[in-house]
Amino acid sequence: MKTWLGRAGFNILVVLIILYSLFPFYWVFKSSLESSIALNQPTSSIWPLQWTWVHYQVIFAVENFLRPLLNSMFVAGSATVISVILGSMAAYGLARMPIRGKVLILGFILLVSFFPQIAMVGPLFLVFRHLHWLNTYQSLIVPYLILSLPITTWILTAFFSQIPADIEEAAMVDGASIRQTIVKVFAPIAMPGIFTAAILGFLLSWNDFLFALSFIQSPNMQTVPLALVNFRNAYYVHYGQIYAGVVVASLPIALIVLFLQRRIEAGLTAGSVKG
């Protein structure tokens, strides 16, 4: 009897957790299909009252929401590629380093990752202004590198350290060059780790709001979060369009998470990354 109760209670808890995590998305999706008239009513219901796809049409045809999507992908993508390349090189060195120096450098990297984002806004703003970089892709790619590089390096070092050096030594003994060893032997083993670091680095850049808010001003340079927050004309905030925009912006992220959940979890715990 007691176990039965416990089971039921546990199942209810599980259902509640799923609802808590996912129901908001349902509500957003539902609202994105609701006509503006219904959205402005003081009451609402669990199903859309007046179905319409018009908000989706408007955000792409009129508001050009594709542009921020592409901007975000380009900026976050570039930052991720660069930071994974640099991070891999640094991490490989670190992982194969004697323990003392490693601790020092890793300690430094850690310290950098604690450096508050808000404290970077002012100095970077002045530097970018000086370089005439404000409102350009560089003005986001560089800060995103600063954000993601410590974390990718940290995660990659953790992953690379687990790969025994014997494998490489064996390859070298067999007459492989350093290059061949890295490309043919090390890289395939390291790939999952690199992939994990890339996902986390990408999410970190994709999720930024503060830097985009501070360094980007023109509507066609906006990233997705910034574009959504600014979804309005001079006088009017269009709820339906925001709902539709949130759906469009969340979908790729949700897919990434669903398919790559294990990698993300592995990366988060390996690196104890900040959220």
Q: With binding defined as CB under 8 A, does residue 269 bind another protein?
A: yes
Q: With binding defined as CB under 8 A, does residue 92 bind another protein?
A: no
Which of 171, 249 has the CB closer to another protein? Answer: 249
**Enclosing H/E stretch for 44:** none
Q: How far is the CB of 69 from another protein (least distance, A)?
A: 13
Which of 98, 175 has the CB closer to another protein? Answer: 98
β-bridge mates for residue 237, sequence order: 232
Judged on CB neighbours under 10 Å (0-12, 13-18, 19+), 239 is middle
Q: With binding defined as CB under 8 A, does residue 38 bind another protein?
A: yes
Q: How far is the CB of 275 from another protein (least distance, A)?
A: 4
Q: Please report, as residue ranges, which positions from 184 to 213 form the binding site for another protein (by CB under 8 A).
A: 203, 206-210, 213
Phi, psi of 90 (to 5 degrees): -65, -45
Q: With binding defined as CB under 8 A, does residue 118 bind another protein?
A: yes
Q: With binding defined as CB under 8 A, does residue 54 bind another protein?
A: no
Q: With binding defined as CB under 8 A, does residue 129 bind another protein?
A: yes
Number of residues interacting with another protein: please give it, by CB under 8 A.
Answer: 113
For 232, the 3-state DSSP assignment is: strand
Q: Which stretch binds another protein (CB under 8 A): 41-49, 53-61, 170-178, 188-196?
A: 41-49
Which of 25, 29, 60, 195 lies at the binding interface for another protein (CB under 8 A)?
25
Q: Which stretch binds another protein (CB under 8 A): 52-60, 178-186, 190-198, 254-262?
A: 254-262
Which of 84, 151, 224, 244 lies at the binding interface for another protein (CB under 8 A)?
224
Distance CA 146, CA 138 (A): 12
| Cα atoms found within 13 Å of the Cα of residue 49, Cβ hemisphere only | 11
Distance CA 139, CA 136 (A): 5
* DSSP letter for each residue of 132-173: T-TTSSHHHHHHHHHHHHHHHHHHHHHHHHHS-HHHHHHHHH
Which of 8, 17, 183, 187 lies at the binding interface for another protein (CB under 8 A)?
17
Which of 117, 163, 180, 195 lies at the binding interface for another protein (CB under 8 A)?
117
Q: How far is the CB of 112 from another protein (least distance, A)?
A: 4
| Count of CB atoms situated within 10 Å of the CB of 208 | 23
Distance CA 184, CA 186 (A): 6
- Report residue 236 as tokens: 């009017």
Distance CA 90, CA 197 (A): 13
The closest of 190, 275, 230, 235 to 59, measured between CA atoms, is 230
Q: How far is the CB of 180 from another protein (least distance, A)?
A: 22
Q: With binding defined as CB under 8 A, does residue 41 bind another protein?
A: yes
Which of 82, 171 has the CB closer to another protein? Answer: 82
Q: With binding defined as CB under 8 A, does residue 171 bind another protein?
A: no
